[in-house]
Amino acid sequence: MGFIWFWIVAVMIAAYVVFDGFDLGAGMLYPILGRSDKDRSTIIQAIGPVWDGNEVWLLAGGGTLFFAFPLLYASSFSGFYLPLTIVLWLLVLRALGIELRGHIANDLWRTFFGAIFAFASLLLTVFFGAALANVIRGVPLGPDHYFFLPLWTNWQVGPQPGILDWYTVIGGLVAVVALSTHGALWLWLKTSDELSERARRAAGYGWAALCLMTLVSLIATIAVQPMALKNYGRYPILYLIPLAVVASLLALQLFRNAGKALYAFLASCAYLVFMLVGAAAGLYPVLLPSSLNLQDSLTVADSLTGSYALHVGLIWWGFGMLLAVGYFVTAYWLFRGKAEGHYHF
């Protein structure tokens, strides 16, 4: 059951990254690709009907983590208290930027809330990327499973790091490049005319940067956390995951060059999923490594809730997922087609 619930949580996190990732990417590209008020309205409209539904995966993932691995939830949410508070405020600001931008037909009003939307999207992406890098690098967990991280210290990786150091900054940059490219492909798919073409070109620039940052992040991860390759040495079949990452990058560029927006976007989805799967497969069964002593790391066995609860929860989780998938299929089906910027967004 521990193996099953580990991958259930991983799947829900991957779903959040894939679905809300293009929202965040569109937000970061909002001031770059939006050269007129109509363009900016179209960008908002391209995510407007689904962005809040996409964020449900973040809440569902957190709730599933709390249910299946309560010790991990308690330890990480207390240790990451400061960045989690910042993330909550950024989520609020992003929602305000999207929802309030079109409430008053005033240029200053629209510019102000559009800037909030773009600013919150950028910082959220950086923090999410840095958060994943913190999990891979490890945190100063003691025998009592408690830790505290300042926002930064000396920017070096060590037994007592900060939330931000050179490695987690790389993680944040990878997230910015990956989700910007993901968002550009979505905007290429959902818009038309000049805006669509600008999004296609932006995806091309993003692809080149993404190839470079993927390689840099791989080298940095091996240097910082050698344990990340332990399972790969034990189970060579796992090397298919990095090969799938490379294949998805190649497919993204090939489909972009061929003018196939949908397939290029799906290749971007595959890239994000395989990157996350690769990180999870490398760490398993460790959930949160300790930078002080690997023996104090939180593992699946340490953090797992009771067997009866897991079996009953699996039934209810399956029922809830059927409802969620049905809702998402319906919402995206109704939302099919191009966004043309005719609404109040």
Return the pLDDT at 343: 46
Residue 341: predicted pLDDT: 54
* Integer angstrom CA distances of residue 141 from 149, 249, 296: 10, 36, 6
Tokens encoding 75: 């330890």
167-216 tens-digit pLDDT:
999 999 999 999 999 999 999 999 988 999 999 999 999 999 999 999 99
Residue 77: per-residue pLDDT: 84
Residue 249 has pLDDT above 70, yes or no: yes
Instruction: Say if residues 128 and 120 touch (Cβ distance below 8 Å).
Output: no
Q: Which residue has the higher pLDDT, 260 or 344?
A: 260
The answer to whether residues 21 and 186 touch, using CB atoms and an 8 Å cutoff, is no
d(CA 221, CA 233): 16
pTM comes to 0.93
Q: How far apart are CA 38 and CA 280, in angstroms?
A: 41
Tens digit of pLDDT for each residue in 42-88? 999 999 888 888 988 998 898 999 999 999 998 988 888 888 999 99
- DSSP class of 341: S
DSSP line for 119-187: HHHHHHHHHHHHHHHHHHH-B---TTS-----SBSSS--SSS--SBSHHHHHHHHHHHHHHHHHHHHHH
Structure tokens at 200: 């296609």
Q: In the numeric block, which tokens belong to residue 212? A: 């470079």
Those residues whose C-beta lies under 8 Å from the C-beta of residue 254, and which sit 6 or more positions away, are none
- Average pLDDT of 139-161? 87
Tell which wins on pLDDT, 26 or 162. 26
SS3 content of the chain, % helix, strand, coil (to 5): 75, 5, 20
The pLDDT of residue 248 is 97
Say whether pLDDT at 345 is over 80.
no
CA distance 236 to 162: 34
Residue 152 has pLDDT above 80, yes or no: yes
For residue range 274-318, list pLDDT tens digits in order. 999 999 999 999 999 998 888 889 999 989 998 999 999 999 999
- Domain residue ranges of the chain, discontinuous segments joined by +: 2-334
Residue-wise pLDDT for 329-343, tens only, equals 998 898 888 886 544
**Angle between the 107-137 and 81-100 helix axes, to the nearest 10 degrees?**
150
Alpha helices by DSSP H, 69-106: 70-79, 81-100
State how far the Cα of 140 lies from the Cα of 129, in Å rounded to an integer.
19
In this predicted structure, the answer to whether residue 231 has a pLDDT above a threshold of 80 is yes
* 8 A C-beta contact, residue 15 and residue 54: no
- Cα–Cα distances in angstroms (integers) from residue 327 to residues 57, 323, 334, in the given order: 12, 6, 11
At residue 100 the predicted structure's pLDDT band, cuts being 50, 70 and 90, is very high
End-to-end CA distance of the chain: 45
